[in-house]
Amino acid sequence: MGTTRTEIDAEARAFIEAQHLFFVASAPAGGGRVNLSPKGLDDTLAVLDERTVAYLDLTGSGIETLAHARTGGSVCLMFCAFEGAPRILRLHGRAEAFEPHEPTFAELRPRFADLPAARSVIRVAVERVTDSCGYGIPVFEYRGQRETLPKWGRAKTAEQIAAFRREHNLESIDGLPGLRGR
């Protein structure tokens, strides 16, 4: 049976920290397209306290979650047990985005793996924590992290990454502002 609460307790935190993959769904305030993104590189998510999580956002082909966060839109992080007992855990809340030129980015950045091409830290103020059974989730065997994105970031110069971001990360698919910084 599902449960609902307002905080991440120790047992939920342990479950979150054991997962190799999570999903981020977001929507802009006032309407627009819902976006859903998988996230999964090790040490890119941190439970900061009972009501706050954050993750390292790496350069990619879209900028939806950051753009939605800037509108005050909603966000949901979902964790599924692909190994062991079935379970789904969702964290509902509001997100804030911090780019490398902002002080909060510098404050939060040490909490995560040293990966190239980090474009922001997304911090989520958790308002609701829900569990559900996960009986419909298949069992998968974890075999490791893909190295494609870190290799891509290490192979690019700062100028090449900046050019990629100018092409792909300045606005969302709904035309909302994306990256503002350098």
Q: What is the pLDDT of residue 182?
A: 56
Q: For 164, which DSSP code? A: H
Q: Which residue pairs, CB below 8 angstroms and at least 24 apart, start in 150-157?
A: 150/41, 150/115, 150/116, 152/117, 153/58, 153/59, 153/115, 153/116, 153/117, 154/116, 156/116, 156/117
Q: What is the pLDDT of residue 50?
A: 98
Q: What is the pLDDT of residue 1?
A: 59
Q: Which CATH architecture has domain 3-168?
A: Roll (2.30)
Q: What is the pLDDT of residue 145?
A: 93
User: Which residues of the chain are modeled with pLDDT < 50?
Assistant: none
Q: What is the pLDDT of residue 181?
A: 73
Question: pTM for this one?
Answer: 0.95
pLDDT single digits (tens) 11-25: 999 999 999 999 999
**Lookup result for tokens 């069992």:** 139
User: 21 — phi, psi (to 5°)?
Assistant: -145, 140
CA torsion sign for 53, 27, 165, 168 is: positive
pLDDT single digits (tens) 125-158: 999 999 999 999 999 999 999 999 999 999 999 9
